[in-house]
Amino acid sequence: MWLNSALSLLPLAVLAFALPTKDCELKVKESVVPPATWTKFGAAPPDHMIKLRIALPQSNFRALEEHLYEISNPYHERYGAHLTKEEVEALVAPHPESVDSVTNWLSSHGIGEGDISRSPAGDWLIIEAPVSLIETMLDTKYHVWKHATTGEYLVRTTSYSLPKYLLDHVDLIQPTTMFGTFRKLESTIHSISSTEGQIQSLDLAPIVDSATGITVDGSCNSTITVNCLKQIYNAVNYTPSADVGNSIAVTGYLDQFANFADLQAFYADQVPAAAAANATFNVVSIAAGNNSQDPTQAGVEANLDVQFAFGLTFPVESTFYTTGGLPPFIPDVRRTTNSNEPYTEWLDFILGHPNPPLAISTSYGDDEQTVPLSYAQRACTGFAQLGARGVSLTVSSGDGGVGDSDPDPATQQCITNDGTNRARFPASCPYITAVGGTKFFPEQAASFSGGGFSDWFARPAYQDSAVNAFLGALPNGTYAGLFNASGRATPDVATQSEFFRVFAGGVARQVQGTSAAAPTFIGIVGLLNDARLKKGLPSLGFLNPLLYSQAASGFNDITVGSNPGCGTPGFNATKGWDAVTGLGT
């Protein structure tokens, strides 16, 4: 029941009379230019229910950020001294005045405490209400919007207002101005119909990288397996443990289901010890997320993530998070709610978890241009909270090359809301490790590897030296005006991302994309965490300050390849950090 029963009986005139004059002084809180790919389809149905999220200002996030950088800096005396859940929540809890002001405002619209859900730190309030009421509350008008390419629909507005006295007590309200399409990031998928029983080319001569001295099976240039990754990344003889408190997880969205039978087929094919142990993974449902075991519904993305992340780290405790969230609104199908922003659903859950997994990978994202700055900033602060608690987070950098925005079908140029190219979100969040893609051995850049510069987030200090060197080496005028040279740069690192042998629906397939790179990198992080925990050391936590300092010497610099996109040749992989493969592999 979304309406307070007592208030619902009062005439609207009485409610209006009860409100102080200042409540009626409205001011626009947020306004956006809708992306060119979305057009108005019609007025939103007044009885359409929306799950509305209200973000209250976090009281002391800057202090949390200071803690995060200190405990993530290998040169600082506090390195590895991760914060507790309670310490983090105390730093981001809203001021009581904000809580009271917003609660009273909701009450004035008939929404009582029993109708409000609150995040663990109290910095998010969630209600469900019909469009008609929300339009009154926010002095706005919702419409149904249609995407020109996908045919998807959203219920959104381009501007909303609040009473002036509330402006400093609310960071943002969504879904209002967010036009994200939130999709998985694999580039292409195709079946291997002729190699069902075995991996081909086993008789090929081994490949030796003369620069590193590493030797890998000859088959690894046509089929990537767990053994190939362990060979390429020097982890062949490392055996992790199941009893040192280590843990790893991957996230699943958009009805992507991870299939247990496919995992067993994968293990039988590539990780015999896991197959012999009948190893599996935990499934945690968030917001009514499903994990159907119907083989016809097996998700290639979900199977890719769990098979390689967990195959690399067996027997470490592993978890698949399946987060619910309906597809965008369909005008001719009645929906009770409209939710396609599952990041915050997952963040609410994981931030409330007393012991979240120590390493988590995500292979989903949005074009940064479709995500309002306010929303991106708040989701990003959630990732920072996880980092402060000792959790390492990786995200695919995207599969569209440079810019990685939706290109115009006719020109292949990327047309954004304001005419500039942008990065992917959440890869552009500075508290996450963005993972680009490579191929072959010796490695070179994958052409689809997403990379570039954020318009929403400034470049963090830990990147300055590496990125400035890259920018200084660019020929004068290269892509002048097409990217924000002072923005957060992506990717941070890269791994293999082509020819991954994945089982889905009982069939072996090959998958390519940075969605393969992110779980691969988190798998290696899981092994490093295992080594640290065995020595009584804390988990690695937020990785980037370490990666751009001491750990940089442990990377293989990728200097071959580029990432064309948006009608341009893209950036080149060069010596040092680059906007194709980051620091390397």
Mean pLDDT for back-to-back runs of 10 residues, the chain (585 residues): 38 39 78 88 91 94 98 97 98 97 97 95 95 97 88 90 97 89 53 47 81 92 97 95 97 90 97 97 94 91 96 98 70 50 83 97 83 88 97 93 59 50 80 97 95 94 97 90 92 97 94 94 98 98 96 94 88 96 97
Q: In what order do the strands lie in the sheet with 117-118?
A: 117-118, 124-130, 49-55, 172-174
Spell out a b/e string for 231-265, using b for 16 or more CB atoms within 10 Å of the CB, else e: bbbebeeeebeeeeebbbbbbbbbbbbbbeebbbb
Structure tokens at 333: 């199908």
| Same domain as 218, residue 120 | no
| DSSP character at residue 238 | -
| Same domain as 354, residue 308 | yes
| Same domain as 321, residue 202 | yes
Q: What is the pLDDT of residue 15?
A: 38
Please state, in angstroms and as integers, the Cα–Cα distance from residue 560 to each residue in 249, 393, 439, 573, following that order: 32, 27, 10, 5
- Within a 10 A sphere around the Cβ of 287, how many other Cβ atoms? 16
Q: What is the pLDDT of residue 217?
A: 96
> What SS3 state is found at 478?
coil
Of 262, 301, 341, 348, catalytic:
301
> What SS3 state is found at 221?
helix
Residue partners of 100: CB distance under 8 A and separation at least 6: none
CATH classification at residue 306: 3.40.50.200
Residue 543, in any domain of the structure: yes
Please report the DSSP string for 530-584 in residue order. HHHHHTTPPP--S-HHHHTTGGGGGS----S-B--BTTB--PBP-SSSBTTTBT-
End-of-domain residue from the set 129, 155, 179:
179
User: Partners of 285 in the beta sheet?
Assistant: 322
| Same domain as 200, residue 172 | no
CA separation for the pair 11, 15 (Å, rounded):
7
CA separation for the pair 172, 54 (Å, rounded):
6
| CB burial of residue 429 (10 Å; 0-12, 13-18, 19+) | buried
End-of-domain residue from the set 119, 151, 179:
179
Residue partners of 151: CB distance under 8 A and separation at least 6: none
| Same domain as 349, residue 428 | yes
End-of-domain residue from the set 133, 151, 179:
179
Residue partners of 22: CB distance under 8 A and separation at least 6: 163, 164, 165
- Which residue in 385, 477, 492, 495 sits closest to 438, CA to CA? 495
| Same domain as 541, residue 413 | yes
Residue 268, in any domain of the structure: yes
Please state, in angstroms and as integers, the Cα–Cα distance from residue 440 to each residue in 219, 458, 500, following that order: 10, 33, 11
Residue 337, in any domain of the structure: no
The question of whether 97 is a catalytic residue gets the answer no
| CB burial of residue 302 (10 Å; 0-12, 13-18, 19+) | buried
Of 217, 262, 269, 305, catalytic:
305
The question of whether 89 is a catalytic residue gets the answer no
Binding site feature residues for Ca(2+): 557-558, 576, 578
| Same domain as 442, residue 299 | yes
Q: What is the pLDDT of residue 255?
A: 82
Residue 72, in any domain of the structure: no
Q: What is the pLDDT of residue 151?
A: 82
Domain count, the chain: 2
Structure tokens at 113: 């405490």
- Which residue in 432, 484, 479 sits closest to 458, CA to CA? 484
Range list of β-strands (E), 292-405: 317-323, 359-362, 364-367, 392-396
Say which residue the tokens 């580029």 belong to.
562
Q: What is the pLDDT of residue 418?
A: 45
Q: Which domain holds residue 377?
A: 192-328+345-554
Residue 279, in any domain of the structure: yes
Binding site feature residues: 557-558, 576, 578
Q: What is the pLDDT of residue 250?
A: 97
| Same domain as 203, residue 112 | no
| Same domain as 381, residue 453 | yes
| Same domain as 532, residue 410 | yes
- Which residue in 378, 395, 408, 371 sits closest to 450, CA to CA? 395
CA separation for the pair 527, 241 (Å, rounded):
9
Residue 581, in any domain of the structure: no
Residue 546, in any domain of the structure: yes
| Same domain as 296, residue 376 | yes
Range list of β-strands (E), 446-505: 452-458, 487-490, 493-496, 500-504
Of 247, 497, 515, 539, catalytic:
515
| DSSP character at residue 19 | S
Specify whether the CB–CB gap between 322 and 290 falls below 8 A: yes
Residue 320, in any domain of the structure: yes
User: Residue 547 corresponds to which amino acid?
Assistant: L
User: Residue 366 corresponds to which amino acid?
Assistant: D
The question of whether 305 is a catalytic residue gets the answer yes
Per-residue pLDDT reduced to its tens digit, 289-344: 999 999 989 899 999 999 999 999 999 999 999 988 655 555 654 444 445 566 78
563-566-570 Cα angle (round to 5): 30
| Same domain as 225, residue 166 | no
Mutual angle of helices 300-313 and 514-534, in 10-degree steps: 30
| DSSP character at residue 324 | -
